[in-house]
Amino acid sequence: MDSRRAPRTVSDPKVRKVGFFTAPPDRSLSSPPDHRVFSFLTSPPPVVDNSSPSAGNSLSPVMIPPPRHSSANLSPLRRDSAEYFPLLLPPPPQPRSPIMWRRRRWGGVLLLLRVACREEKGGGVAVEMQNDQSTRSKSLKEKTTKAERRALQEAQRAAKAAAKAEGGTTPAAASGAAASNDSATVAASEKKGGDRPPEKDRKKEVPQPRMQYDDKSRVEKAKRRAVVKQTEARNRVELFRHLPQYERGTQLPELESKLFELDPMHPAVYKVGLQYLSGDICGGNARCIAMLQAFQEAIKDYSTPPEKTLARDLTAKIGSYVSFLIECRPLSISMGNAIRFLKNRIAKLPLSLSEMEAKTNLHSDIDRFINEKIILADKVIVKHAVTKISDGDVLLTYGSSSAVEMVLLHAHELGKQFRVVVVDSRPKLEGQLLLRRLVGKGINCTYTHINAISYIMHEVTRVFLGASSVLSNGTVYSRVGTACVAMVAHSFHVPVLVCCEAYKFHERVQLDSICSNELGDPDVISKVRGREDINFLDGSSNSAILQLLNLIYDATPSDYVSMIITDYGMVPPTSVPVIVREYRREHLLI
């Protein structure tokens, strides 16, 4: 990772435009590159959502999109399957040369796009894309000039507009697809909205973007390979189409019946997957530990097939397990880091080791990881955090975080006099578990829901929050509602302390809660368990005009966070990239 510190600046500054510009449409190409400027380390890039005419472009909040055509303006296409789409082209605004090649290099896979000539404008125009080998395409790279490419893009956009007008078929490769889940370490860069020669130097060690679920072809492919058959939910909110959403309640029975026929899947991994699916295991640390322990078992039972190397085959197997777990529930950032660590360790195994030794090595590595990064880290966090609790304090916490719970219990054991306010929210109501445990230990507690947060905040002296991850710009990515609590605390001048283990830090940057999130079951919003009298929305979940949205995570900007307590000490939010830089190197978490 340290070899990659260069791209903190824009590599093509003259294209960097921020703000409203009434440029001709082909200049709007420059606007999506602004995404790159802000988010080039982001794995899931901001969504350019084509399928909704009203939403226009869901650009990052900093950007004001240039004026678009009335029909949805579309980003340049990126497809990697050879398909033909007969399209109708409106008369072109500018003259063009007959056949234009447009090439875009993306993630090592080259896409060639060809728009047939204008002379055929009487009828349909075939837009043909081909997936090409990178070697062949390299030779063709010089053929396109920038103007041609821009013209090409213009044509595609118009073509797309026509297609929309004509059929309303979902764009096959709408706002961009990410690298497929099993293209292992080729780091595809972020989604490129712009027509630019890709910067190769940027792409290498950027973590893989998550799969964008509004790309139909990718979703189809993933479905074919899936173990879990999921049906996509209807009535999805447009803005969040890039996130997966499936009908709940359908997978579990089917999976359980398949328990005895799962040849490629190890039973421990299967069990963990089912536990994720049903919600039995919840919380970053718990999920990570469960997953690693399942992998430990899988590695123990693993035997190298003949004519294959242990490293490669085991990595592939782990990859398939990970895909299965993703199908059950999208990975949390802590799990992603743990998987990277494991793959790194497998890759670094010396070739001279026998299979038995290699397996014991990996086993002890995983043990060491769990011990050092999670269990001991929590102890250090508790040690630092209790110094910030003094007698007479009123501490507020939101939801249920394992680290915060340990801090409160330890402070109580040390004999500090304080009381706790537990803030909770529907639909998960996780705070109730925390409340039960705290009251069981004899801590003075108050319980309230998040709608009363501004009422209760004036009596609070400190706010302790947990995090699913802390990103490189200091943004805290945590359970939905955390941002709310942090902002109210900030406006009341109450210091906000976030407790997060260092293995959960991630080098990506996220500016809002939209581009990367997780969608939960929308039905739990419309129903309140045990209260039949207020279930007014029952039965209207199929209505076309009602869309339910149940977000799981949100992003808290760093301005609202006073301090982050990690196993490396108490640091301000601006120091997170320093820790990522210094210690990822040492601990091989890259």
Partner 1 sequence: MMELEIELKKASDSLKLWDATSISLTAGCDLFMRYVTRTSALEYEDFNSAKSRLIERAEKFGEISCKARRIIAMLSQDFIFDGCTIMVHGFSRVVLEVLKTAAQSKKLFRVFCTEGRPDRTGLRLSNELAKLDVPVKLLIDSAVAYTMDDVDMVFVGADGVVESGGIINMMGTYQMALVAHSMNKPVYVAAESYKFARLYPLDQKDMAPALRPIDFGVPIPSKVEVETSARDYTPPQYLTLLFTDLGVLTPSVVSDELIQLYL
Question: Does 569 help bind partner 1 (rule: CB under 8 A)?
Answer: yes
- With respect to partner 1, which residue has the nearer C-beta, 474 or 522? 474
- The answer to whether 222 touches 181, Cβ cutoff 8 Å, is yes
**Cis omega before residue 577 (within 30°)?**
no
Task: Please state, in angstroms and as integers, the Cα–Cα distance from residue 541 to each residue in 223, 240, 377, 477, following that order.
Answer: 25, 17, 44, 29
The distance of closest approach from Cβ of residue 197 to partner 1 in the complex, given in angstroms and rounded to an integer, is 35
- With respect to partner 1, which residue has the nearer C-beta, 111 or 494? 494
Beta strands in 116-261 (DSSP E): 124-132
* Per-residue buried b or exposed e for 372-389, using 16+ beta carbons within 10 Å of the residue's own CB: ebbeebbebbbebbbebb
Task: Please state, in angstroms and as integers, the Cα–Cα distance from residue 335 to each residue in 99, 332, 341, 497, 498, following that order.
Answer: 47, 5, 10, 23, 19
Question: Does 578 help bind partner 1 (rule: CB under 8 A)?
Answer: yes
Question: Does 574 help bind partner 1 (rule: CB under 8 A)?
Answer: yes
The distance of closest approach from Cβ of residue 509 to partner 1 in the complex, given in angstroms and rounded to an integer, is 16
- With respect to partner 1, which residue has the nearer C-beta, 172 or 563? 563
Question: Does 570 help bind partner 1 (rule: CB under 8 A)?
Answer: yes
Task: Please state, in angstroms and as integers, the Cα–Cα distance from residue 166 to each residue in 88, 89, 389, following that order.
Answer: 8, 11, 65
Residues contacting partner 1: total by CB under 8 A: 16
* Per-residue buried b or exposed e for 463-479, using 16+ beta carbons within 10 Å of the residue's own CB: bbbbbbbbbbbbbbbbb
Question: Does 582 help bind partner 1 (rule: CB under 8 A)?
Answer: yes
| Residues 381-420: x where in contact with partner 1 by CB under 8 A, - otherwise, as a string | -------x--------------------------------
Please give the Cα distance from 266 to 298 (Å, whole number): 6
- With respect to partner 1, which residue has the nearer C-beta, 209 or 474? 474
Residue 209 three-state SS: coil
The distance of closest approach from Cβ of residue 388 to partner 1 in the complex, given in angstroms and rounded to an integer, is 6
Region near partner 1 per CB under 8 A, out of 68-76, 115-123, 322-330, 572-580? 572-580
Pairing of strands 100-106, 109-115: antiparallel
H/E stretch holding 4 reads none
The phi-psi region of residue 415 (left if phi > 0; otherwise alpha if psi is between -120 and 50; otherwise beta) is left
The distance of closest approach from Cβ of residue 408 to partner 1 in the complex, given in angstroms and rounded to an integer, is 17
Region near partner 1 per CB under 8 A, out of 124-132, 197-205, 355-363, 567-575? 567-575
Residue 51 three-state SS: coil
Applying CB under 8 A, among 541, 575, 587, 590 the residue interacting with partner 1 is 575
AA identity, residue 307: E
Please give the Cα distance from 23 to 32 (Å, whole number): 14
Region near partner 1 per CB under 8 A, out of 97-105, 141-149, 281-289, 565-573? 565-573
Q: At what angle do helices 333-347 and 284-300 cross, to 10 degrees?
A: 30
- With respect to partner 1, which residue has the nearer C-beta, 119 or 391? 391
- With respect to partner 1, which residue has the nearer C-beta, 578 or 588? 578
The distance of closest approach from Cβ of residue 582 to partner 1 in the complex, given in angstroms and rounded to an integer, is 7
- With respect to partner 1, which residue has the nearer C-beta, 484 or 494? 494
Applying CB under 8 A, among 341, 508, 568, 580 the residue interacting with partner 1 is 568
- The answer to whether 230 touches 250, Cβ cutoff 8 Å, is yes
Region near partner 1 per CB under 8 A, out of 315-323, 428-436, 531-539, 569-577? 569-577
The distance of closest approach from Cβ of residue 550 to partner 1 in the complex, given in angstroms and rounded to an integer, is 34
Region near partner 1 per CB under 8 A, out of 76-84, 137-145, 422-430, 578-586? 578-586
Question: Within a 10 A sphere around the Cβ of 86, how many other Cβ atoms?
Answer: 12
The CA-based angle 298-304-310, given to 5 degrees, is: 90
- With respect to partner 1, which residue has the nearer C-beta, 158 or 404? 404
Please give the Cα distance from 542 to 262 (Å, whole number): 34
Beta-bridged to residue 466, according to DSSP, are 499
Please give the Cα distance from 476 to 556 (Å, whole number): 5
| Residues 250-289: x where in contact with partner 1 by CB under 8 A, - otherwise, as a string | ----------------------------------------
The distance of closest approach from Cβ of residue 571 to partner 1 in the complex, given in angstroms and rounded to an integer, is 6
Q: Please provide the size of the chain in residues.
A: 590
Question: Does 572 help bind partner 1 (rule: CB under 8 A)?
Answer: yes
The distance of closest approach from Cβ of residue 135 to partner 1 in the complex, given in angstroms and rounded to an integer, is 44
Site for partner 1 in 448-467 (CB under 8 A): 462
Question: Does 67 help bind partner 1 (rule: CB under 8 A)?
Answer: no
Question: Does 579 help bind partner 1 (rule: CB under 8 A)?
Answer: yes
The encoded tokens of residue 145 equal: 């000039």
Question: Does 469 help bind partner 1 (rule: CB under 8 A)?
Answer: no
- The answer to whether 565 touches 499, Cβ cutoff 8 Å, is yes
- With respect to partner 1, which residue has the nearer C-beta, 167 or 569? 569
Question: Does 563 help bind partner 1 (rule: CB under 8 A)?
Answer: yes
> Could you give the dihedral angle defined by the CA atoms of residues 63, 64, 70 and 74, in that order, rounded to the nearest 10 degrees?
-20
- With respect to partner 1, which residue has the nearer C-beta, 186 or 578? 578
Question: Does 184 help bind partner 1 (rule: CB under 8 A)?
Answer: no
Question: Does 562 help bind partner 1 (rule: CB under 8 A)?
Answer: yes
Site for partner 1 in 486-545 (CB under 8 A): 495, 497
Phi and psi at residue 167, in whole multiples of 5°? -115, -25
Site for partner 1 in 359-388 (CB under 8 A): 388
Residues that bind partner 1 (CB under 8 A): 388, 462, 495, 497, 562-563, 568-572, 574-575, 578-579, 582
